[in-house]
Amino acid sequence: MAASSAAASLPTSNAGGRATAKGKSDASFMESSLKRKRGIFTRELRAMMYGFGDDPDPIPETMSLVEDILLDYITEMVHKAQDIASGRGKLTTEDLLFLLRKDGPKLARAEQLLRLDEVLKIARKAFVIDEEKLALD
């Protein structure tokens, strides 16, 4: 699948159909955004696809298509979360968790990753404090 046809098949309106910065239309902004971000998840997607039974070196067109689908999903979820948060003016993780509330496995995984992030933050702080104590001794 050609990159331009994959980008053209994506939804072109963001939340409320707003115009984007510098007067660009939603479609051109989305296409330029996809072109800029192409390949950002390649390594992770390759590993996931292999883990689910694909070839260790998948076809580049397949990688491109799966990445386009992933970027479309992420973009759509963030736009929906922005709509939810529009009253407050600030997007939070709770807005994304609210969107995942009906999908139990995704919600559980997101909450697990957030807890893990907190544990890692605490561990990093403890590591920095220990290094400072050693430097003073």
How much is the average pLDDT of 65-94? 93
State both tokens at 58: 């998948």
Q: Locate tokens 């969107």: which residue?
A: 99
pLDDT given for residue 30 in this prediction = 57
pLDDT given for residue 9 in this prediction = 42
Asked if 60 and 46 touch (Cβ cutoff 8 Å), the reply is no
Rounded to two decimals, the pTM is: 0.63
pLDDT given for residue 88 in this prediction = 86
Instruction: Provide the total of helices (H) and of strands (E) in the chain, helices listed first.
Output: 6, 0
